Structure 1
């Protein structure tokens, strides 16, 4: 999904925050995000990186998004702040009614600088009591990312009336727009 044309060097961020439909829908609206791809990461075998196998919970993959962004318009730290504000990082291996390791909260860092920034923010959020419960977000190096099947791409945009989209994603997007108005891209 091409969203904007940016200037300068592009960077990647890979995040797992529960259902990738939700995470993709949020980041598709962020200024400076050039592309968002849903997919699978962190699993054992490449040939098991498909929706049916991952949903079975046995492959070790997480539903995630790979975000290409322009650091001249959007910082990695801003991406992480949006990430922590748009899912519950205190739920172990779940997000709401979605249960299993495939729905875990994880940051798959792509550079030492990303790891350092994520560690710092995790420490800051944990020590300031922003969340009532401890943060369980994993911080792990990025591994092979497997792009999800085509029908998962732009899922919310193509299916806004579908039950999950209407009752889970749409309210999440409304909260996101309120809290991060300064990061919204122009429509």
Structure 2
């Protein structure tokens, strides 16, 4: 998830060789991951509602004067937001805002992604996607979003995976 408006931070769920984390990518200074928290039982006890493994995150501008941004995770135990990372400066991102499903994996000689088997049966989902404009949150819609980043299933080189918009603009689902 990377908000429009020159954000310094992208909030990412990372799956890497059996390990999962929620990480902040710095787009203004380092252009690399700068903060990370593992998705483990402690994470789930704090950042999920206890019924699912879903978490709620946000990236918000905290100072327009310095273009400072913060990535936060919603803490279900305290009912507040926990800061994961903050950064300011000028973004080096080439595009302006997204909430997408991306897959980076080696592709074998068969044309199949090496991650297909590891992701088999796993669902990736982003729901209740909201956009903050002039300090007001609203559901992603044709008025404030587009579907330019939607990619066909074939783009992931994994024929057993499917991707679809459940509700255009504010809810997508990828299933293996």
TM-score bucket (shorter structure): 0.3 to 0.5
Q: TM-score, normalised by structure 1?
A: 0.32
Q: Which has the larger radius of gyration?
A: 2
Which structure has the highest helix share of the two?
A: 1
Q: RCO higher in 1 or 2 (8 Å CA, sep ≥ 6)?
A: 1
